[in-house]
Every structure is written in C-alpha cells, then in structure tokens.
Structure 1
Amino acid sequence: PRDLAAHERFRDAYDQRLRERPPSPRVRRMAQEIAHRIVPFTAFMSGSTVAAHVARHIDPETRQFLFPDGEVPEELERRRQEWRRRQKRQRTLADIRGKSQARRALALRPDVAALHRAYHEALRVNTDDAIDDRLVGAILLHALDADPSCTPPLERRSIELASGEALIRQGQQVGEMYVVLSTTAPLVVMHASDAAEPRQVAVLAAPTVLGEIGMWRGQPAVATVTTQEPNRLEMLVIDAVRFAALKKEPGFRAATAAEVQRRLALNSALLGTLLDDAAASTTSPLLASIAQLFRFLTGDSHVALDVVIGLPEQATPDECVEALRTQVDEAIRAGGLPPELERHLATVVATIG
C-alpha cells in the first residue's frame, strides 16, 4: 500500500485473518525459531538489550505469539553480547586474508567439494517434486558452518553390492545416514508386509540421501534399500554424532519435513478422502486423529490438530511422523477397516520411512 491509511487497513485485515485461522503449532514454532535467530542481532544493532528491544518494537499480540508470556530466553541476550564482542574486534587485513584462505581451503576439502558437486547434480536431475537438492544443500551448509578445528571431514566410503544385496534392511536399526554420490546401477526400495511378498516402492538414482528419516526417528528401517544388479556406490557417511548436530539445523529439519510431505503426497488425494469418510462414518477417534495428522503432514499447516491423540502442542515434525506411523499400525491391527483404506494406510507406513 502506498499510503498509511491503506497500509493500516491491510494490517488490520491481515491480523483479523490470523485471529480467525491461527497458525498451527508447527508454523508457530518455525516463526519462533526465526525470531530467536534474528532478534539478538537486531537488538545489538539498535543498542538495547533483547528484552527492551522486543518490548519496544514488537506489538503485544505478536510478542505473545513469538515470546509466550513475555519470556525472552536468556540465551538470546548472550547471543546479543556475542554480536557486540565480534563488532568490537579490530580486524586487520591479515586477519581478513587469513579467514578467506581458511574458507577457501574448507571449500576445497574433499567431502565439502563432493557435497557441492552432488548439490548441483541434484538440482540438474531432480524433478519438480524431488527434494534431494534441499537435503544435500542443508548438509553442505552444515559442513561449511562447522568449526573445522573440532569437526572431522565426513567419511567417504565405497561399497560393492552384489545383485540382491541390501544397503539398508527392513527391520534393522538405521545407524548411519548416507549421501549417495554415485552408483553404477539404480537402487531399489522394497517393502514387505506381514503376509505379503516384498514389493517395490521406489527406484532411486544418485545423488540421493538415504536413512535421514530412520535416523531422525531412531527406529528400525521400514523398507529395504537394495540393488537388482551388481552395484558400486560412492557415498559420504554421517554417523550418529554428526547427525545429532545436523538435525538442529533449521534448513535440514525443513528439508526432512518436506521429504515426508513429498512421500505422503504420493497418496494424498485418494487417502485423504478415504480417511475423512471413514472417520465420519465410524466416529472413530483414532481415524479422526490419523486424518488430521495426514492433512497436516501433507502440507495443510492450518489443520487444528485438536483431535490428534497423544500429541503435545509443540510437537516436532518427527514426533508427528512417529505419531502417524504408530496410529496407522494400531488402526490396521485393530481390523475392521475398509480394504481399500487399509491398503493405502499400509502404503503410508512404507513410504514415509
């Protein structure tokens, strides 16, 4: 808007819209994370404490949204002080050149260079709905940001798989995440239900990321990643220690959540309707809970999540995924589902990992 009155009308209409359709807990948590990253710097630039900066520049309604009950974490003030200390340092030309050389050396480190190539290759080969580039990009940024003095390079590993040999096996614990840089043959994802033969769920080409959801959940793999012909894999390995640091990165969390949404979206149109119909006809609290979780995880951020069973208000995306898997398993074990719905629910478990 070009004039103040129009701007205020827009602001009031926007605020009213948010009151009518409050953001979901997930969106609220994301907004709070962004605010916590930005506010220490803006407080430093304004020359005030974080608490004073928030009180002065953020209106009460937004302040309650970003800082519930007016609680500004002490950590934010420590970050502001760190910005202040950084600014006070007098950097000489030699300091700047030294840092530039260190950054250049880091970019040329074999694991970082391999991630950089994989990222651009993923951008080139990915279809519109694939997100391997986002996952690889998040891992690349994490590697660039990590302190090289205390963070070792990622392990590079070459693996020879015979035809039918598994890289990840269904039912076994996932202890590592892999950035697959290259293969000599496609990888195949197979899923076996209790009473059926294993069936093919997906075919994967490099570069791709494997094991990210299994590592996040800390649960056994729900599918097998194998090859149908002799295959040589080149990959970078992320162990549990490195993954624990990586999962704190907002970019990686967002990319992992997007991957779950992508997998669920493969079944979303029909399954969403089947779930809604079944929940309405049976008045089953469990099916109603599954329906809300499914809508939420397939991208409807405004789902209220008010009938979801056993989920805390500030649940993380991986907690939502685990709740969906657990409740789907429970619904299938209980029996009595329409055959088509049961078949699609079983597919959900197989596809989200």
Structure 2
Amino acid sequence: MTNYQFLQTFEFKNGIKIKNRIVIPPMTECSSFEDGNVTKNELDYFALRTGGAGIFITPASNVSSLGKGFEGQLSCASDDMLPSLTQVANTIKVNGTKAILQLHHAGRISDSKILRGQQAVGPSAVASLRPGSEIPRELTNEEILQIISDFGQATRRAIEAGFDGIELHGAKTYLIQQFFSPHSNRRSDDWGGSLKKRMKFPLAVVEQVHKIVERYADRPFIIGYRISPEEIETPGIRLADTLALIDVLKKQPIDYLHISTRDVWQTSKNDSDDQIPVVDQIKEHTKNEVPLIAVGNIAKPEEAEKVIEDGFNFVALGREMLREPQWVEKVQNGQEAGINYSLNETDLKQLRITPPLWKFLTKKIHSKLTAD
C-alpha cells in the first residue's frame, strides 16, 4: 500500500512545502566533539537516515556554553560553529528533506562536570528531582536577557548555515520549560510567580527568534516549538497549564507545535480519571490554528497513518528511524514486509548507532521522574 496519507505533501503558511508528513525527531546521539563541532561519525549517522522523511530535526544544539547539557552535544553557541552547522545542514538536505536545527539550553539539567567546573543555572536555585542533580544558580535579569539573545543569535547561525528552520526545545524539563514550571521557577519578579509571568520567558524567546528571522532570513524559514504537556513533580506543570500556554503560543509567529510524549496515545500522567489522550486534547484546543507534530512509540505504517487520520499534520518516528533508516523509502516502494522493527548489538556499527543511542533504544519506556 503506497497511498498512505502520511506520504502526502504539506504546505506551511509561509509557503514552505514539505514532501511528506514523516518527521525524524531530535534524538541525542552524543557524537559531537567536546567543543561542539560535528564529527564524521555524526554526519554519517545523519546521511544514513536522511532523504526519505519530509523533516529531519537535529539533536539538541546548545545556544550558549552554560546551556550545554551533555557530553558530545552539538553546539550553535558561537560563529565558530558555522562551518560545522553548515556541514550538518548540507548533509541532511538531501532529496527534498527539510533540515531543522533544534535550539536548546539545559538550564538546571546540567552539572559542574559537564560545564567544566561552572555551576549550572536555572530560573531558581532549586534542584531537579533527577538522581544526582545539583542545585543551580539563580539567573539574574541581565543573564536572562542574554540567554534570550543567545537563542536569537543561534537562529541567525541556523539561517546562515542553510537550515530550513529551527525548533525551540521547550520540552524535557530543559530551560524554556523550567521557566514555565512552578517546580523549577520560584521567582517573585517579572519572570515568575503567576502562570502569566511563567510564560514570559518562553514567549520572549519566540519573539526574539522571530525578529531574527524577519531581519536575516532571505527565504521562508520555519519556527517550531516543542512542548512536554505535563510534569510529575509537585508543584509542576499540569495539562491545564499547558493548554493555557498553547492558547498564547498558537497566536505567536510559530509554524508548528511538536508535542513530546513517550506514547502518542497516552492519557494524563496526573489525572487517572481523564482517559482522553493528551494529544487529542491539545489538538482540540489548537482548533487547527497551528500545525501539530505527534510522536511517541510509533513504528508501523498503519500506526503512523492512524495519527494522520486522527487529524495531526505530521507524525514523528524516533526509535524506528534508528532501527530502520530506509523506513519511508520502503513504504513508498511497497516493501513494507522488509521494514526492520528489531535491533541487536551486531547492527550498531552498520546503523551508525552510538552507545548513548543504544542505551536510549534499550531503556525502559517509563521512568518515574523523567518528563516526556
């Protein structure tokens, strides 16, 4: 069967046409050099998987030195990274696949070892509940404004490097989400406190990024935003908070909203009485005002098709694209029977899969204190 809806084209309001509805989501493969430059192994990993999907979103790229969240992270923190970023963009942009650079600041989800002796920063001096977490240093107003500028400058670099767009990493409990979360943000100034004030940082980042695109882009350029709908922490983000944020985000100059979930049809992690899938609630709330990417434990063509049939604009395949780099091509060529759904350690070298990616593929799906 080759007449799947997910193989149909999509056109954003800015005129950018996407050749199909399949997205390779950002996955941390920890393959960059210590200074954040891309390696040949990483480029090989990209090259093996690109060309089929309509959109390929890079692993998280830190926008500043204090934003680094893990070893081997790709960097977009200075103009020195432009040659590296250009290599990434050129490698991904094959056969019409659009290259999106994910912009990231780890905030408190970093530590003094990763930051080479420097203390991690966050909205407030409150440690994450993740095991081994360190207490971050509370950001000053001037530092907050600088980080907002850093996201803007990283966007300029993405434009200059040839990417088709950027995605703001507002998920996975990293800095943008930390400002929105009542667990990590205990501030009493204009950057925290009320729900509206906790939205200020994410919205300021969106505004800055859009200004940079308006100023520097000589072509239509995509701005995406990724969210995690809920947190388990108390206090923490609940679905009602996220829907309130979406009410504001959908009126901002963003081109899509990427809903980060472990399983695309999961229900609320905090309200067992709510049995409506979280993604469906978000979809109903957006009222088609902003395109949506759904992701989470999708592997087979019929599973991807169900997502599109349910009214989502794009479907992202994460683990499955690691196991089967030619997933889209096999579907297009009527070779679905040849799609690989399993993986063992003997396949790692051929598939350019690093030890961190192998750990990601084999770890348990559910973790008590890890947000989506």
TM-score (norm 2): 0.25
If each structure's helix is expressed as a fraction of its own residues, which one has the higher value? 1
Structure (1 or 2) with the larger CA radius of gyration: 1
